[in-house]
């Protein structure tokens, strides 16, 4: 039975297309919104869990009702357009890895941010899964969100993926594993820590995701970037195109408080 994901009700998934390569796998994916309004509703329902622990949300709702929960969320969510855009890219990349690719992503790292307008350091998104019964695979992702996404932004994303010799930063990976230890995916968190402390993280157990949220078509720049890549880490670049990029993001955030149950 197929699993319904958050993208299904408002997007058309163009699937994945391999790019011929003699060294490592290189794959591109395209997702297109066919209903921005439904996407806004879906995202507005998801955003609170990206910024606050569900236990905290439930406690505040119980003690202070809708007005208290609305006030709490208003202080947690970013208001600046640039901060909203960057966060939305990360949130959608995380959802893509979890729901479309079957990875464990753990609690949102945005929950631990000191201030709603401050960019977070470290890798944008990390995800992991165990396949073939025992082998751990980790994804390091860079998410970019622009109305028009050109060569410079793709280059910026590539530079992010190239940091730390193309591996997840040790600090980000430790934080990721620690968050997993508090969840039902504890075993994967333990496996990540074990890998760090024993064999070390190598390119054969890591993949890269470049996730691009835009209103345009960066396929030419994506193709050039992947063709130029000469490293040893498997590559996946996914472009999610929305019809009205800036309006889509701002409407999603603005609707959160309105939708408080």
CB distance 205 to 195 below 8 Å: yes
Q: Grade residue 134 by pLDDT with cuts at 50, 70 and 90.
A: confident
Phi, psi of 207 (to 5 degrees): -130, 155
Domain housing 149: 11-258
Which of 260 and 180 is assigned the larger pLDDT? 180
110 falls within a domain: yes
Strand partners, 104: 128
* Whole-number pLDDT of residue 10: 96
Q: Is 128 contained in some domain?
A: yes
| In a domain? residue 86 | yes
For residue 21, is pLDDT > 50?
Answer: yes
Residue 149 lies in a domain: yes
134, part of any domain: yes
Question: What DSSP element (H or E) covers 125?
Answer: strand 125-131
For the chain, the domain total comes to 1
Residue 120 confidence (pLDDT) above 80: no
pTM: 0.92
Report the C-alpha gap between 51 and 62 in whole angstroms.
Answer: 18
Q: Please, what sign has the CA dihedral across residues 165, 171, 175, 180?
A: positive
Above 70 in pLDDT, residue 9? yes
The whole-angstrom separation of Cα 128 and Cα 97 is 9
**Average pLDDT of the chain?**
90
Asked if residue 242 is part of any domain, the answer here is yes
The closest of 10, 55, 48 to 255, measured between CA atoms, is 48
Q: How many whole angstroms separate alpha carbon 261 and alpha carbon 254?
A: 15
Is the distance from CB of 103 to CB of 97 less than 8 angstroms?
yes
Nearby residues of 143 by Cβ (< 8 Å), 6 or more positions away: 86, 89, 90, 92, 93, 124, 125, 157, 211, 212, 213
66 against 25, higher pLDDT = 25
In a domain, 1, yes or no: no
Write down the pLDDT at residue 63. Answer: 85
What is the tens place of the pLDDT at every residue in 181-203?
989 999 999 999 999 999 889 99
Res 33: pLDDT: 97
2 is a domain residue: no
Maximum CA pair distance of the chain? Answer: 60
Residue whose pair of structure tokens reads 């855009």 in the numeric block: 85
Say yes or no to pLDDT of 145 above 60.
yes
Q: Mean pLDDT, to the nearest integer, of 88-102?
A: 95
Residue closest to 24 by CA, chosen among 236, 235, 201, 211: 235
Give 58's pLDDT tier (boundaries 50, 70, 90): confident
Averaged pLDDT, 65-92? 89
- What kind and span of H or E run contains 105? none
């Amino acid at each position: 039975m197929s699993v319904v994901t958050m993208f299904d009700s408002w997007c058309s998934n163009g699937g994945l297309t391999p790019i011929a390569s003699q060294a490592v796998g290189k794959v591109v994916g395209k997702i297109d919104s066919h209903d921005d309004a439904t996407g806004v509703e879906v995202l507005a329902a998801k955003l609170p869990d990206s910024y606050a622990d569900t236990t905290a949300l439930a406690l505040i709702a119980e003690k202070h009702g809708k007005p208290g929960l609305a006030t709490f969320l208003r202080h947690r969510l970013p208001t600046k357009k640039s901060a909203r855009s960057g966060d939305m890219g990360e949130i959608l990349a995380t959802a893509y890895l979890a729901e479309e690719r079957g990875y464990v992503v753990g609690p949102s790292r945005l929950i631990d941010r000191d201030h709603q307008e401050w960019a977070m350091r470290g890798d944008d998104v990390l995800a992991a899964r165990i396949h073939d019964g025992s082998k751990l695979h980790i994804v390091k992702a860079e998410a970019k969100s622009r109305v028009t996404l050109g060569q410079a932004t793709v280059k910026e994303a590539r530079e992010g993926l190239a940091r730390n010799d193309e591996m997840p930063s040790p600090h980000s990976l430790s934080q990721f594993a620690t968050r997993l230890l508090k969840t039902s995916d504890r075993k994967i968190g333990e496996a990540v820590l074990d890998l760090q402390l024993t064999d070390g993280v190598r390119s054969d157990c890591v993949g890269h995701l470049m996730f691009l949220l835009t209103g345009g078509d960066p396929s030419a720049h994506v193709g050039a970037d992947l063709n130029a890549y000469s490293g040893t880490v498997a590559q996946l670049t996914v472009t999610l195109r929305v019809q009205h990029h800036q309006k889509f993001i701002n409407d999603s955030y603005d609707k959160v408080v309105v939708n408080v149950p």
